[in-house]
């Protein structure tokens, strides 16, 4: 079913039922766009939806975090008030998982403004869930999903240059290939990869621009360079942060004007390609320090996408392990993992990110005997942790960094404790697909204690009842 024919329902939730902007008015505005309203019960409120809020508060952010599953499901926030006061806190609600924030009074045509967004999101999400993406790019964590969404949207709906920044092994090349494949204008032609860390300056002219016959000793025939080969397709400049300044100057004209001269030729040639660059350096920082030309930086970084390290998406580790076990071809179906092996995978450090994990799985699979689960004995001896490795090791430099930031911002101890507890509860509940009993067990508390703590979070934040108690739900439906 395509995005233009699919029938979609949107729930609408007002934080002030009976007051201010009414859900019926929002539903009504959507009618001319082809949306059809139908009432939804509270428990059916799983798909995309709209919340109407007077202003952004902590409780509303927490609500958005829950109903959007940290941004996994599309939620549009509509503010009733007047800009600019209404838009205060808009960044926070986006951070909490809202896909966009609209100020109702600023909209000349609210129905079209809302429906166009949901249509676009639906198209993007269908691609994100398509076999092409799901089979090749493993990961359901909010951090990874949000990167894949941006990549898909940029690839399909723009022709702009994309800059991918991420530590080694985070999947930059994989995403560059995906952008090329999804780009309908380019994917019939080549994806040309140029590794900027291996370009020899003396030969760079020929590699980049090609040469004429006899242009230099040994040039026995004319040859195309990367810019010509990429014509009509995609040029992927890998490790772009390694480009020497001299070469950056040479590249600028070709990237800016899409014209170049072969070595030994005086005539300009045209080329037309999509540009993708990748680096594990902090390129904005390199630019600020003068190590990367500013004009070139703004040319390559029309869209900058930062890939998360594996430690920022630990929930993706086990699905990636299964994926790599399947790819290893050493077992018909991925074997089960003993609980201790799962813990080992999740708590290990991965300086080489996904590539590191991939190598580890490969080594483990070589010693797998083909029957029963993977056990600790399958972990190669040089990979085994020190005997005194304890559960305390989870408190790594990244956790300390977050707390450092909070202390520097003057956040009090009580608030830090509350935030850490709220995050642990949310992560445990998500990890158990909403099952409070299992989440409580995981956290070592009773389910009653967990429920009380969860309810307490909402009450502390707003002095309000839990969000579901004042929920008013209606519907719409999408797409002609």
Ligand X SMILES: Nc1ncnc2c1ncn2[C@@H]1O[C@H](COP(=O)(O)OP(=O)(O)OP(=O)(O)O)[C@@H](O)[C@H]1O
Q: Under DSSP, is residue 227 helix (H, G, I), strand (E, B) or coil?
A: helix
What are residue 308's DSSP bridge partners? Answer: none
Considering only the stretches 73-81, 197-205, 352-360, 375-383, report the one whose residues sit in contact with ligand X under the rule CB under 6 A.
Answer: 352-360
Residues 106-165 that bind ligand X (CB under 6 A): 137-139
Q: Closest approach of Cβ 59 to ligand X, in Å?
A: 34
Q: How many helices and strands (H and E) does the chain possess? A: 19, 12
Which residue's CB is nearer to Mg ion, number 164 or number 443?
164
Q: Closest approach of Cβ 374 to ligand X, in Å?
A: 19
What are residue 270's DSSP bridge partners? Answer: 259
* Binding at 323: pick from Mg ion, ligand X, none (beta carbon under 5-8 Å per type): ligand X
Q: Closest approach of Cβ 131 to ligand X, in Å?
A: 14
Q: Does 166 bind ligand X (CB under 6 A)?
A: yes
Q: Exactly one of 71, 111, 142, 169 binds ligand X (CB under 6 A); which one?
A: 169
Considering only the stretches 80-88, 171-179, 251-259, 402-410, report the one whose residues sit in contact with ligand X under the rule CB under 6 A.
Answer: 171-179
Q: Exactly one of 173, 212, 462, 477 binds Mg ion (CB under 5 A); which one?
A: 173
Q: Closest approach of Cβ 191 to Mg ion, in Å?
A: 13
- Residue that the structure tokens 């074997």 belong to: 335
Other CB atoms within 10 A of residue 19 CB: 10
Find out whether 181 and 276 touch, Cβ atoms under 8 Å: no
* Binding at 355: pick from Mg ion, ligand X, none (beta carbon under 5-8 Å per type): ligand X
Q: In what order do the strands lie in the sheet with 473-478?
A: 100-103, 75-79, 49-53, 8-14, 473-478
- Residue that the structure tokens 């600790």 belong to: 376
* Binding at 100: pick from ligand X, Mg ion, none (beta carbon under 5-8 Å per type): none
* Binding at 234: pick from Mg ion, ligand X, none (beta carbon under 5-8 Å per type): none
Residue 219, sorted as left (phi over 0), alpha (psi -120 to 50) or beta, turns out to be beta
* Binding at 141: pick from Mg ion, ligand X, none (beta carbon under 5-8 Å per type): none
CA distance 289 to 271: 32
Q: Exactly one of 88, 168, 256, 367 binds ligand X (CB under 6 A); which one?
A: 168
CA distance 445 to 453: 10
Q: Does 354 bind ligand X (CB under 6 A)?
A: yes
Find out whether 357 and 317 touch, Cβ atoms under 8 Å: yes
Q: Exactly one of 172, 189, 211, 293 binds ligand X (CB under 6 A); which one?
A: 172
Burial class of 202 by CB neighbour count within 10 A (0 to 12, 13 to 18, 19+): exposed
* Residue in 307, 36, 299 with CA at minimum distance from that of residue 169: 307
Find out whether 458 and 57 touch, Cβ atoms under 8 Å: no
Which residue's CB is nearer to Mg ion, number 68 or number 353?
353
Strands (E), 254-399: 259-261, 268-270, 274-279, 303-306
Burial class of 5 by CB neighbour count within 10 A (0 to 12, 13 to 18, 19+): exposed
Q: Closest approach of Cβ 174 to Mg ion, in Å?
A: 8
Residue nearest to ligand X (CB): 171
Find out whether 151 and 178 touch, Cβ atoms under 8 Å: yes
* Binding at 233: pick from Mg ion, ligand X, none (beta carbon under 5-8 Å per type): none
CA distances from 237 to 194, 258, 278, 369, 453 (A): 5, 15, 6, 42, 50
* Binding at 169: pick from ligand X, Mg ion, none (beta carbon under 5-8 Å per type): ligand X
CA distance 349 to 405: 23
Q: Closest approach of Cβ 379 to ligand X, in Å?
A: 20
Between strands 49-53 and 75-79, the pairing is: parallel
Q: Exactly one of 94, 174, 219, 403 binds ligand X (CB under 6 A); which one?
A: 174
* Binding at 459: pick from Mg ion, ligand X, none (beta carbon under 5-8 Å per type): none
Interface size with Mg ion, residues (CB under 5 A): 1
* Binding at 168: pick from Mg ion, ligand X, none (beta carbon under 5-8 Å per type): ligand X
Q: Closest approach of Cβ 49 to ligand X, in Å?
A: 28
Q: Does 280 bind ligand X (CB under 6 A)?
A: yes
Which residue's CB is nearer to Mg ion, number 40 or number 226?
226
* Residue in 413, 406, 410, 415 with CA at minimum distance from that of residue 460: 415
Residues 296-335 that bind ligand X (CB under 6 A): 323
Which residue's CB is nearer to ligand X, number 158 or number 168?
168
Q: Closest approach of Cβ 303 to ligand X, in Å?
A: 17
Q: Residue ranges of the alpha helices (H) in 329-446?
A: 339-347, 353-366, 397-408, 413-431, 436-443
Which residue's CB is nearer to Mg ion, number 236 or number 458?
236
* Binding at 87: pick from ligand X, Mg ion, none (beta carbon under 5-8 Å per type): none
Which residue's CB is nearer to ligand X, number 45 or number 172?
172
* Residue in 209, 344, 218, 194 with CA at minimum distance from that of residue 279: 194
Lookup: tokens for 402 = 């977050």
Considering only the stretches 93-101, 169-177, 311-319, 340-348, report the one whose residues sit in contact with Mg ion under the rule CB under 5 A.
Answer: 169-177
Question: Which residues of the shown chain bind ligand X in the complex (CB under 6 A)?
Answer: 137-139, 166, 168-174, 280, 323, 354-355, 358
Using CB under 5 A as the criterion, which residues of the chain lie in contact with Mg ion when the complex forms?
173
């Amino acid at each position: 079913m395509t995005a233009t024919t699919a029938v979609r329902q949107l729930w609408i939730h007002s934080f002030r039922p009976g007051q201010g902007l009414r859900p019926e008015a929002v539903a009504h505005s959507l009618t001319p766009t082809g949306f059809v309203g139908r009432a939804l019960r509270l428990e059916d409120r799983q798909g995309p939806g709209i919340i109407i809020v007077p202003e952004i508060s902590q409780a509303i952010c927490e609500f958005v975090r829950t109903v959007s599953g940290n941004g996994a499901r599309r939620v549009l926030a509509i503010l009733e008030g007047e800009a600019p006061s209404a838009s205060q806190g808009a960044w926070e609600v986006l951070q909490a998982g809202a896909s966009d924030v609209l100020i109702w009074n600023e909209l000349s045509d609210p129905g079209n403004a809302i429906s166009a967004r949901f249509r676009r999101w639906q198209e993007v999400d269908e691609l994100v869930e398509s076999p092409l993406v799901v089979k090749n790019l493993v990961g359901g964590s909010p951090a990874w999903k949000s990167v894949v969404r941006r990549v898909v949207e940029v690839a399909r709906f723009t022709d702009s240059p994309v800059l991918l920044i991420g530590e080694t092994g985070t999947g930059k090349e994989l995403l560059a290939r995906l952008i090329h494949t999804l780009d309908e204008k380019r994917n019939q032609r080549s994806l040309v990869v140029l590794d900027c860390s291996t370009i020899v300056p003396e030969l760079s002219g020929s590699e980049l621009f090609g040469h004429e016959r006899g242009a230099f000793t040994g040039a026995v025939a004319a040859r195309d360079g990367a810019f010509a080969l990429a014509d009509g397709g995609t040029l992927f400049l890998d490790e772009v942060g390694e480009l020497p300044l001299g070469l950056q100057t040479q590249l600028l004209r070709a990237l800016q004007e899409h014209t170049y001269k072969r070595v030994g030729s005086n005539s300009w040639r045209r080329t037309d390609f999509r540009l993708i660059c990748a680096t594990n350096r902090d390129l904005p920082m390199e630019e600020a320090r003068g190590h990367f030309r500013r004009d070139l930086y703004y040319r390559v970084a029309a869209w900058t996408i930062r890939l998360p390290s594996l430690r920022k998406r630990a929930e993706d580790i086990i699905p990636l392990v299964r994926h790599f076990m399947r790819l290893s071809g050493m077992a018909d179906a991925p074997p089960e993992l003993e609980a201790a092996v799962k813990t080992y995978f999740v708590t290990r450090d991965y300086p080489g990110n996904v590539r590191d994990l991939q190598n580890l799985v490969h080594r483990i699979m070589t010693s797998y005997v083909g029957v029963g689960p993977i056990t600790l004995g399958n972990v190669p001896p040089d990979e085994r942790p020190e005997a005194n490795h304890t559960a305390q090791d989870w408190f790594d430099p990244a956790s300390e960094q977050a707390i450092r930031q909070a202390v520097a911002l003057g956040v009090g101890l009580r608030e830090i404790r509350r935030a850490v507890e709220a995050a642990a509860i949310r992560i445990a509940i998500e990890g158990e697909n909403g099952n409070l009993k299992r989440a409580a067990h995981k956290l070592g508390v009773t389910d009653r204690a967990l429920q009380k703590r969860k309810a307490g979070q909402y009450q502390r934040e707003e002095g309000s009842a839990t969000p579901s108690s004042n929920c008013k739900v209606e519907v719409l439906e999408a797409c002609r």
